[in-house]
Amino acid sequence: MAKNTLYNKVWNLHKVAELETGQDQIFIGLHYMHEVTSPQAFAMLREKKGKVRFPNRNFATMDHIVPTHDQARPYKDPQAELMAQTIKANTAEFGISFFDIESQKQGVVHIVGPELGITLPGMTIACGDSHTSTHGAFGSLAFGIGTTEVLHVLETQTLALSPLKVRKVVWNGKLPKGVYAKDVILKTIQVLGVNGGIGYAYEFAGDVFATMSMEERMTVCNMSIEGGARIGYINPDQTTFDYIKGREYAPKGAEFDRAIAYWKSIASDSNAEYDDIVTFDATTLEPMITWGITPALGIEITKSLPQINELPEHDRKTAQQAYDYMKFTPGNPIIGQGVDVVFIGSCTNGRIEDFRIAAKILKGKKVNPKIKCLVVPGSQAVKKQVEAEGLDRIFIESGAEWRYAGCSMCLAMNPDQLIGDQISASTSNRNFMGRQGSTTGRTLLVSPATAAAIAIEGKITDPRNYL
């Protein structure tokens, strides 16, 4: 039984009651919304003539369906246009803040909330999107919910939830050059399995996370759900407080100082107990790449594709399906595999630090002419910052396409999609069959550094050659 962890403290602080079913009623301190999972919830609320209980604890933006190339209204896709109109009307009707494109604060929801200082430590945070786990980087319990649960939050600002166990995932040592946060989480999922985290919240701890920036921590927590863990968090510390200070919605002055005391108090105690602890050594980590059809089917970029019988028993069925779909052969190296598209962006890796790393590699170089490279900022604010630093010029001069903010090619809900059985190297978080728009499209997940190096060569390559 986990005790005195951040998970225990924040869960107990937000527990309204134990329900007669045995689930806990948990207050949701912060609710984010976007255009895909909200329309039916608002429609149900309207149908029952209900109201939003705490409008000022709900924030909305638009990201999944937003075109990143041509944002003229009405959108060319009539369904996208209807969704944009629907969320605007719904948020206005129910009194919820909506960061639309006119606001200059629009972007991918898991990038917008933190950059505005809305996401803070010691909260419970929900959103109709599985990558809500991202916000756990701040020391909050943040998780994805379905549309009916979105309705519950709107109506009551609470949810019926079952408690989780807590697994401490420790990474010690120093990350070698060319190895980044994305590689850390890909390795973690490879080892613990795509469903290893079911029933658990993951607490990421150890030297590696202590020295990571907030953006790196968000990359890691973002993909907790890909390992089955609905919640993934990192204890708040000075790095957290420094990031938050001065942001628009963050507490200010004396309130900020009082907030720090609260934030420190909810961190896991030094004598905290966990249901499970696993430990990794960062010093031997290499850049990672997925080759299969779940985020767990990944390898070090220097290695050869695994034989089916080398894989853990629980991965083998899916691995066989993966080889058939991806048209790869066990035993072949992954380095040298050609790609058609490179996508740098998404809620996983669409922040300023990601673009600085990509720009460092692409500076003065050209994207291989046979590939298409999309570089997509995670928010309007990130776009402005990239441009203020002149990094957009590097991308454009290299032959990459510099876009407007949105979820883009992560998933097939906007015009950015693969065609036929194209292979992409993507800094996003999912590689399921058909994920990026074509029913035969193939996705390889990598860090921004690896993606930039691949863009130059037009094939899978080791980013360390460029650093």
Least distance between another protein and beta carbon 351 (Å): 22
By the rule CB under 8 A, 317 interacts with another protein? yes
Angle formed by the axes of helices 352-362 and 448-457, nearest 10°: 30
Taking the least distance from each CB to another protein, the nearer of 157 and 426 is 157
Choosing from 1, 73, 162, 271, the residue that interacts with another protein (CB under 8 A) is: 162
Residue 164-203 contact track with another protein, rule CB under 8 A, x = bound:
------------------------------xx--xx----
Least distance between another protein and beta carbon 458 (Å): 27
Range in contact with another protein (rule: CB under 8 A) among 271-279, 327-335, 370-378, 406-414? 406-414
Smallest CA-to-CA distance from 154 within 228, 251, 50 is with 50
Taking the least distance from each CB to another protein, the nearer of 30 and 212 is 30
Choosing from 181, 184, 186, 225, the residue that interacts with another protein (CB under 8 A) is: 225
DSSP E strand stretches across 1-138:
15-18, 24-27, 30-33, 58-61, 97-99, 124-127
Least distance between another protein and beta carbon 271 (Å): 23
Q: Which amino acid, 47?
A: E
Quick one: 320 exposed, middle or buried, by C-beta within 10 A (0-12, 13-18, 19+)? middle
Question: For the chain, percent helix, then strand, then coil, each to nearest 5?
Answer: 40, 20, 45
Interactions with another protein, residue window 55-94 (CB under 8 A) = 64-65, 77, 79-80, 82-83, 86
Least distance between another protein and beta carbon 346 (Å): 14
By the rule CB under 8 A, 9 interacts with another protein? no
Query: Is the previous residue joined to 74 through a cis bond, with omega within 30 degrees of 0?
Result: yes
Least distance between another protein and beta carbon 73 (Å): 16
By the rule CB under 8 A, 321 interacts with another protein? yes
Taking the least distance from each CB to another protein, the nearer of 259 and 381 is 259
> CA angle at residue 453 from 451 to 456, to 5 degrees?
110
By the rule CB under 8 A, 390 interacts with another protein? no
By the rule CB under 8 A, 47 interacts with another protein? yes
Least distance between another protein and beta carbon 238 (Å): 18
Interactions with another protein, residue window 283-302 (CB under 8 A) = 293-294
Taking the least distance from each CB to another protein, the nearer of 71 and 318 is 318
Q: How far apart are CA 391 and CA 382, in angstroms?
A: 11
Taking the least distance from each CB to another protein, the nearer of 23 and 213 is 23
Q: How far apart are CA 334 and CA 291, in angstroms?
A: 8
Q: How far apart are CA 339 and CA 370, in angstroms?
A: 9
Choosing from 4, 71, 97, 147, the residue that interacts with another protein (CB under 8 A) is: 147
Taking the least distance from each CB to another protein, the nearer of 23 and 304 is 23
Taking the least distance from each CB to another protein, the nearer of 294 and 398 is 294
Q: How far apart are CA 329 and CA 316, in angstroms?
A: 14
Interactions with another protein, residue window 227-286 (CB under 8 A) = 228, 230, 251, 255, 258-259, 261-262
Q: How far apart are CA 145 and CA 265, in angstroms?
A: 27
Smallest CA-to-CA distance from 215 within 83, 100, 382 is with 382
By the rule CB under 8 A, 372 interacts with another protein? no
Taking the least distance from each CB to another protein, the nearer of 219 and 429 is 429
Choosing from 103, 104, 148, 279, the residue that interacts with another protein (CB under 8 A) is: 148
HEC-encoded secondary structure of 300-353: ECCCECCCHHHCCHHHHHHHHHHHHHHCCCCCCECCCCECCEEEECCCCCCCHH
Taking the least distance from each CB to another protein, the nearer of 3 and 314 is 314
Least distance between another protein and beta carbon 410 (Å): 10
> If you search the block for the tokens 């402005």, which residue do you land on?
384
Interactions with another protein, residue window 101-140 (CB under 8 A) = 120, 122-123, 128-130, 132
Strand duo 24-27 + 158-161: pairing: antiparallel
Alpha helices in 57-180 (DSSP H): 78-94, 109-115, 147-156
Q: How far apart are CA 174 and CA 154, in angstroms?
A: 43
Least distance between another protein and beta carbon 177 (Å): 33
Q: Which amino acid, 205?
A: A
Task: Determine contact, residues 417/424, Cβ cutoff 8 Å.
Answer: no
By the rule CB under 8 A, 144 interacts with another protein? yes
Range in contact with another protein (rule: CB under 8 A) among 156-164, 202-210, 302-310, 358-366? 156-164
Task: Determine contact, residues 115/243, Cβ cutoff 8 Å.
Answer: no
